[in-house]
Chain A
Amino acid sequence: MAERSFAREVEQLKIGAGEEFRGEGILAVTKALLQSGVGYVGGYQGAPISHLMDVLADAQDILGELGVHFEASASEASAAATLAASVHYPIRGAVTWKGTVGTNVASDALANLASGGVKGGAMIIVGEDYGEGSSIMQERSHAFAMKSQIWLLDPRPNLETIVRMVEEGFELSEASNTPVMLEIRIRTCHLHGRFVARDNRKPAFTVKDALERPARDTSRIVLPPASYAHEHEKINHRLPAAIRFVRERKLNEVFDAPGSKVGIVLQGGMYNAVIRALERFGLADVWGNTEVPLYVLNVTYPLVDDEVVDFCRDKDAVLVVEEGQPDYLEQALSKILRNAGLGARLLGKGPFPMAGEYTAKVMSEGIGAFLRAHAPAMLPDRDRAPNVPADLDDETLKALAKEVPMRPAGFCTGCPERPIFSAMKLVEKELGEHQVASDIGCHLFSILPPFNIGGTTMGYGLGPASNSAFNVAAKKRPIAVMGDGGFWHNGLSSGITNAVFNKHDGVTIVVDNFYSAATGGQDIPSSRANNRTRSTHHPIEKAVRGVGVDWVRTIDRTYDVGRMRDTLKEALTTPEKGPKVIVAASECMLNRQRRERPLMQQAEKDGRRVVRSRFGVDEDVCTGDHACIRLSGCPSLSVKRLDDPLRDDPVAAIDQSCVGCGNCGEVADAAVLCPSFYRADIVSNPSGWDRFMAAMRAKVTGFLQRRRAARRLGFETT
């Protein structure tokens, strides 16, 4: 059901030792898991690791052959709890999610897992959604690793190193009885590269074996007194074991340049950017040779004190390249140097900004500033005393800032969520503005233009819960919006059940687009599709009624803006007390088009009768007020300038990408906007009856048109 199929790519998962793998980072991670003899995998979708879930789903046959169980977890908490299978059994397990938000959700299970420790290797693959393109709050996974004592791997961003870290990460986990977190940044997830493969390994001990031969060890359970012992175990046994392993296996790498009095300590993920910056100063080359020594931390937690001391001993100054804040690494390195009594200057947040992504520009400026201050002799003349860089002049920048439009994310062409917010806009016009809590999902785009609806987003599935305080008698009711993904993730309990129990009088709109649409179309319990390996077709309405909501309305065609508006109005004004839930259901248009368009094209090619709809605007009826666009924002609904000297303002126009969802017409009608819109149904391979009727109609209309054209004075352009 996922929007992108990896059926072709997953074939590469089967390749054996010595063959070269070429593909995306996440696919390489999957291959590495198989090479590691993993026994089970699970996870929850979300950029940038959605494709990892899709790959796993598409690779289920391959996984099955190897005896690997794949679980599409209900949430990151479920996924993290899945790792419990590695507590008592020698089974390797891996789970994945989007960081840091997924880690937030998972942290209860992670803390318990890390306390008791693991027997089989346990790996958490976190897609670090930080920096440009990120859709979440900017935080670091590092804090989670430290607080629960989970080792944090941050491999150099090339497929060889990533694969190596997956494989050795499992060994590290087993050697130190500690879960391991593999952090992969957003660009690395989508990275196309290569590595030489090894054979896949069947797990030596499978989950089936475990189920049939259950084991338990109370000393691993987080209960007093074991829980007190765990803390000591972490410090006295697991940490030293991990440090030993990291040192012996040389998981961290030194790229030396003997004699240099300066050096750079960096997170593995920063490596390529550091090399490129040095390259531009003439201090490194594209093959990784460098004149500035580098100490690359593929393991950023724990740090290996001796390695740090060895690297820094003969240096006057050391630069820490650590993206994000707080500057945990710099703080820890400072302490190591001080304890060792070394005099090397340590710089990090100083040459570099404390906050924000280390873009190419930031990297170059940070390293440049460090070298100018501490090793000016290494720099070519121009970089030692740089002229003002050839930046754009202010006037050009101002002109560009004025002309280049913002492109906030918005609903796709034909999106079934658009009419929900068009209807909300109309209700707003009648009943005034309301307190609206938003949630995570495509529907969050309502916050942006043109809808500008929604004030907060407190987390996945937490939209309704974030209206909890607004549970007092008032002239208006609060509204919460939540997607089907968030609903099943936790919204049913944290939002709906909570509202029932607390006798909340608010309105919740559950947007049901037939699967988890925002993350790429993964199935969830209410999916309408038949899924070979999952149980679907569990209606949201049934669940909502099951927990005690009496006022539930399901709208099975969100494009009916009038009905949507009236239902919402009813929910906001009905005297009935208690939570009001509207399930607004229509399939994600992006996925639907991907599925249906090729079928339609084929049918048309085969000569079958096919009706396709699209909308248009009569340019001479449109007055150019753009009210329709302010209630829509559809990418296919745009404006164009007419070649008419009597007109100042561009008129609405619909382009070829229109999928005929009907929102324009519905809105024009429900909001009583204007009669400019029309729907054209285009009948391909029309039947004899179609053609006969069309010819008859054309006869009548054509006659009348000619009659009037002859009788009135008009104008024609020839």
Chain B
Amino acid sequence: MDSLSPSRPITIAVLAIGGQGGGVLTNWLIGLAEANGWYAQATSVAGVAQRTGATIYYVEMIPAVPGRTPVLSLMPAPGDVDIVIAAELMEAGRAIQRGLVSPDRTTLIASTHRALGILEKTAPGDGISDSARVTAIARTRARRFIAHDLQRLAEANGSVISASLFGALAAAEALPFGRDSFEAVIAAEGKGVAASVAAFRAAAEAVALLPPATVDLPEPAAKAVPKPAGGSDRERSAYDRALARLGAELPSNVHEMAMTGLRHVVDFQDAAYGHLYLDRLAELAALDRSRGGDGRGHLFTREAAKYLARAMAYDDVIRVADLKTRATRFARVEAEVKARPDQVIRVTEFMHPRVEEICGTLPAGLGRAVERRAGLVRMIDRLFNKGRRVRTDGVFWFVALYALAGMRRHRRKLLRHAVEEAHIADWLAVARRGLAADYDLGVEVIRCRRLIKGYSDTRARAESKYGKVLSALPLLEHRPDGADWLRRLREAALLDEDGKELDGALKTVASL
């Protein structure tokens, strides 16, 4: 036999997540091919029940020859795919992983937005994958790599990502069909045509403007420095004095972080509280210098500036009430829900105060006295411990929370403050001890404050993890690699909720 035909189909794989409209895009691809007199075959393995899993759609197309049926494949073969369309960045990574992207053949079109996987979201720490790493790989693995935030373009035009992906495909000119032909297919759909076409065009233009092989990962915008506003003259001048102190008393490579921290604690309480923050920081800076911090970029003080600010601005009910009633918060809610000016927004909060919060809001002595009386605690618990749905756009609950936020003036006399202060004192004492043993160990102790977060039970669990991590200090402070071990313990603590990884890591440390 000597008459094998050399013609081969164009092969296209679409990788999407359930619910992204991969099926719509596939139908458009078929429509496009058939409208141009091509023969198209498409298939997918979208199990109906797999709502949120990754799905691959596969299309092959070839110019039709009357009376002949081409034999087309039902699945993509590694090294054999001309166009890969990834409806999310990590799906592009998955396509590469599966060998569908080859440097000599494949045009890879990807949306750079992220839809996070469940394990990226559930990690108690930061479990988000590294987008830059995947785009770097994509750039070297694809013949052409076209990447853009096509989700944003779709949303901005009131459409879904299938439309903007289709636009990017048109602009890529990887198929031998004109732009009009693409738009005609969308128009034939008959539903939501205007929005789809708008998203299609926006994407086509955005992609056409991209220089070859570039990626529009968002540039970090230059940050505006927040300016002080409001407050009495006395308060303002106290803040100015604090700024002056910061410049004078702290090493310059700590200034930026300390400035952010200072604003944070002043916003939490007042200028006097800012001075307390600086007192502590200045003392830690002196210690830092005495331990050779000048040669270390004052890392110890810098990290302390960061974590001390968060520790001092703890999340008590006053703080929550304060944040919930601010004008900036109202504006943010409206922006988040994309409310139009002609719409009315009602906001309901989900609060669940417990006895601990009630006592925490009493003067320290009284609060402790109540906590000692089990019967009284039970009674308060019965009265208050239930979920409260409150309308903060309504006058009654707004005023209630506003008044609660007004208790800020008395905060430093309240039980919760005393508890937090004691916690901070303990933490800094341990940090000093760590620093005395080894500079890096001191830094790592400071950083363990990252573990303290959450409310109620979550916070209690966080504290227990924090306690467990620092319990290893006596084992580590005489080891040259002690700091590194403490870092590993902290990172292990952030991997899962129950602390299984941490327990494993602690066992390893105990066996050192």
Contacts and interface: CB of A to CB of B under 8 A. Distances in A.
A binds B: yes
Interface of A: 22, 47-48, 50-51, 129, 131-135, 157-158, 160, 186-188, 190-194, 257, 271-273, 275-276, 279-280, 282-291, 359-361, 364, 389-392, 396-397, 399-413, 441-442, 448-450, 518-520, 562, 590, 614, 616, 618-621, 623-627, 629-630, 633, 635, 637-639, 641, 643-650, 656, 665-666, 668-675, 677-686, 690-691, 694, 696-697, 700-702, 704-706, 708-718
Interface in B94-127: 94, 96-97, 99, 102-103, 115-126
Contacts of B68: 287
B350 A672 contact: no
A57 to B, nearest CB: 15
B129 A403 contact: yes
Most chain B CB within a 10 A radius of its CB, from A286, A441, A619, A644: A286
Contact of B227 (A194, A673, A715): A715
A133 B155 CA distance: 29
Contact of A187 (B74, B155, B227, B231): B74
Interface in B448-466: 450, 453-458, 462
B395 interface: yes
Nearest to B263: A715
Contact of B69 (A158, A284, A390, A399): A158
Nearest to B449: A648
Contact of A623 (B3, B7, B44, B315): B315
Given A187-B75, A646-B260, A677-B349, 10 more contacts: A133-B46, A193-B41, A272-B72, A287-B70, A401-B97, A633-B121, A678-B333, A680-B336, A694-B345, A704-B399
A412 B19 contact: yes
A673 B49 contact: no
Contacts of B332: 618-619
Contacts of B347: 678-681
Contact of B454 (A133, A289, A625, A690): A625
A448 B350 CA distance: 28
A674 B77 contact: no
Nearest to B34: A22
Contact of B49 (A47, A289, A672): A47
A403 B224 contact: no
B261 A650 contact: no
Given A47-B48, A643-B223, A674-B454, A669 B352 contact: yes
A674 B315 CA distance: 10
A621 B349 CA distance: 12
B80 interface: yes
Contacts of B457: 671-673
Nearest to B226: A715
Contacts of B270: 712-713
Contacts of A668: 350, 352
B363 to A, nearest CB: 22
B52 A410 contact: yes
Contacts of A257: 1
B446 interface: no
Contacts of B320: 621, 675
A633 B5 CA distance: 51
A404 B458 contact: no
Contacts of A290: 1
A360 B75 contact: yes
Q: Please list the 5 inter-chain residue pairs (A to B) with the smallest Cβ-Cβ separation, ordered nearest first.
A: A405-B117, A713-B231, A133-B45, A360-B77, A669-B387
B507 to A, nearest CB: 22
A709 B235 CA distance: 13
B118 A626 contact: no
A315 to B, nearest CB: 17
Contacts of B47: 47-48, 129, 133-135, 186
A403 B43 contact: no
A62 to B, nearest CB: 23
Contacts of A716: 226-227, 229, 328
A582 B50 CA distance: 26
Nearest to A185: B74
Nearest to B70: A286
B287 interface: no
Contacts of A680: 333, 336-337, 339, 345-348
A410 B45 contact: no
Given A273-B73, A404-B94, A714-B229, A705 B333 contact: no
A666 to B, nearest CB: 8
Contacts of A275: 71
A193 B94 CA distance: 28
Contacts of A619: 332
Contacts of B309: 646
Nearest to B307: A646
A656 B349 CA distance: 19
A51 B398 CA distance: 52
B62 interface: yes
B202 to A, nearest CB: 17
Interface string B333-367: 10011110011111111111010000000000000
B398 A704 contact: yes
A122 B46 CA distance: 29
A621 B125 CA distance: 17
A449 B119 contact: yes
B1 to A, nearest CB: 5
B116 A639 contact: yes
Contacts of B93: 400, 403-404
B117 A645 contact: no
Contact of B1 (A291, A520, A666): A291
Nearest to A590: B51
B481 to A, nearest CB: 23
Contacts of A400: 93-94, 96-97, 134, 137
B195 to A, nearest CB: 12
29 contacts: A47-B47, A51-B48, A191-B74, A273-B75, A285-B5, A286-B71, A289-B3, A291-B4, A404-B93, A404-B134, A409-B52, A412-B51, A621-B315, A637-B121, A639-B120, A656-B338, A665-B350, A674-B454, A674-B455, A677-B349, A680-B339, A681-B348, A682-B345, A701-B325, A706-B327, A709-B327, A714-B231, A716-B227, A718-B224
A648 B52 contact: no
Contacts of A711: 230-232
B182 interface: no
A286 B343 contact: no
Contacts of B71: 158, 271-272, 275-276, 286-288
Nearest to B261: A646
Contacts of B348: 665, 678-681
B40 interface: yes
A710 B122 contact: no
B324 interface: yes
A637 B103 CA distance: 36
Contacts of A186: 45, 47
A645 B260 contact: yes
Nearest to A192: B42
A344 to B, nearest CB: 21
A6 to B, nearest CB: 13
A628 B343 CA distance: 29
A714 B267 contact: yes
B479 interface: no
A618 B351 CA distance: 13
Contacts of B229: 709, 713-716
